[in-house]
Amino acid sequence: MTAPVEGFSKFTKAEKITWLANNYTSNPEETKKLLKRYWNSDAQLQQLHDEFIENTITNYYLPLGVAPNFLINDQLHVIPMAIEESSVVAAVSKAAKFWLPRGGFKTKVISTEKIGQVHFMFRGDPKKLQGFFDKIQPILIKDAAPITKNMDKRGGGVTKITLRDCTNDLPNYYQLHCCFETLDAMGANFINSCLEQFATTLKRESQRYEPFTETEKAIEVVMSILSNYVPNCLVKAEVSCPVDQLTLSKKVTPQVFAEKMVRAIQIAKVAPYRAVTHNKGIMNGIDAVVIATGNDFRAVEAGVHAYAAKDGQYTSLTHAKVAAGTFSFWIEIPLALGTVGGLTKLHPLVKLALEILGKPSAKELMQIVAVAGLAQNFAAVSSLVTTGIQEGHMKMHLMNILNQLGANAEEKKKLVAHFKTNTVTHSAAAAAFEKLKNKE
Ligand code: MEV
């Protein structure tokens, strides 16, 4: 076993790579070459990437694709998507094209509230704590003013602080539940800085509060942190058209297609095993745009899935209905996104993605991202209820299989042509490749 390493973070990049390659790979020279192949030839750009995180040894690429023809509130958009999974970009592009002549996507931001909490323990009289809280509210706001000044000027800031008694869940446990408006910023640093200041004020003022006993004065702040659960930072995206315009599949009539779509959504609403996969498909679309625009996809994932379970059972994030001959399909999801701060000014491709999107505000980006999720779900579920997912998916995956098999450009061309009229499976591709090789 390799001995633990001392002072690794202080090693130079080359030293880190040498240590890693020597101790954890079978061919250190090959490892070094491989890692170097992924370095950017522009040293300055490489340094920028090296400094995004810690202990960087190389870059890890994700393909950046684009999905054109998205009509959103009567404006055309091209949506950049960073994702490794084949067929996602094709699927959303297909959905965009389908809805283009049918009015496109209609979207609306419902709310933009962000949340953070100071979690603390108070051992004493809850009524006295409430009295104390009422007294210090203006002091909490005043003490945080140096942090909130700029945000306040732009129309954002702290919108509400409430004291929450959580002692039914955990003895002596209370929260300062704080609401924020962070405008075009995702706001994590702003919120966390405000919360840490609130915690300092809370402790300091409790020690000075005469009605408190010595035990009551000893408020124990456990932690101060934003919540990624943002059920009041909501966006809605919708498509709708007369049922007879649902001419998507040669296999079923528009009427049957609409019924099958509605049924599939009903299933995702009541069956958690299906709901998870259904929502995973939605996140294929959402995460890809979130990543391309330099936002935090883990935060989005956590918040979205919590929202999907908000009523006690994990359920579908999309909804469908047929009413008065019209098919409607929509999504309502919480999305805490930013178009300023974070990576938005740092990462050249993030800057480009935002430019392609027309330099959106955070609210506009929420709408675009929701559309990508809805489009992906529409495409996935419409395949599932008609041809099945594999037909389209495997066609898109064919190139990965051919690359795995080691096909050259000419062979790929021939095999792609062959599979235009044949079903793609891994074994069928291997067999066709073998046959081609034998012929050559
Ligand atoms: C695959 O990445 C996503 C799907 O499974 C989504 C779905 O089943 O709705 C196709």
According to the model, what pLDDT value does residue 430 have? 93
According to the model, what pLDDT value does residue 391 have? 78
> Nearest residue CA, atom 10 of ligand 1?
380
Ligand 1 and 114: CB distance under 6 A:
no
410: CB partners within 8 A, 6+ apart: none
Name the β-bridge partners of 114.
180
- Sign of torsion over alpha carbons 39, 9, 190, 367: positive
Phi-psi domain of 157 (left: phi exceeds 0; alpha: psi -120 through 50; beta: other): left
pLDDT digits (tens, 9 = 90+) for 254-303: 999 999 999 999 999 999 999 999 999 999 999 999 999 999 999 999 99
Ligand 1 and 390: CB distance under 6 A:
no
What is the three-class DSSP state of 423? coil
According to the model, what pLDDT value does residue 114 have? 98
Name the β-bridge partners of 334.
234
According to the model, what pLDDT value does residue 396 have? 78
**Which backbone phi and psi does 75 adopt, to 5 degrees?**
-120, 135
**CA-angle at 313, arms to 373 and 261, nearest 5°:** 45
Residue 296 bears catalytic tag: yes
Residue ranges in the chain modelled with pLDDT below 70: none
User: What per-residue string of b and e applies to 305-339 under the rule 16 or more CB within 10 Å gives b?
Assistant: bbbbeeeeebbbbbbbebeeeebebbbbbbbbbbb
* Catalytic residue from among 13, 49, 85, 125: 85
By CB neighbour count within 10 A (0-12 exposed, 13-18 middle, 19+ buried), where does 97 fall?
middle
Question: Could you give the residue ranges of the DSSP H alpha helices within 332-388?
Answer: 348-356, 362-384
What is the three-class DSSP state of 256? helix
Ligand 1 and 31: CB distance under 6 A:
no
On the CB side of 42, CA atoms within 13 Å amount to 5
Among 297, 292, 285, residue whose Cα is nearest residue 354? 292
How distant is the alpha carbon of residue 226 from its chain centre? 17
Among 320, 411, 335, residue whose Cα is nearest residue 372? 335
The identity of residue 432, as a single letter, is A
Report the C-alpha gap between 187 and 189 in whole angstroms.
6
| Cα-only R_g, the chain | 27
According to the model, what pLDDT value does residue 251 have? 85
Q: Strand 114-121 vs strand 173-181: parallel, antiparallel, or unpaired? A: antiparallel
Residue for token digits 């609409």? 258
The answer to whether 106 and 234 are in contact (CB under 8 A) is no
Beta carbons within 10 angstroms of residue 302's beta carbon = 15
According to the model, what pLDDT value does residue 289 have? 98
* Catalytic residue from among 181, 205, 238, 296: 296
The answer to whether 226 and 336 are in contact (CB under 8 A) is no
Ligand 1 and 381: CB distance under 6 A:
yes
Among 417, 420, 423, residue whose Cα is nearest residue 391? 423
> Nearest residue CA, atom 2 of ligand 1?
281
On the CB side of 184, CA atoms within 13 Å amount to 12
Residue 165 bears catalytic tag: no
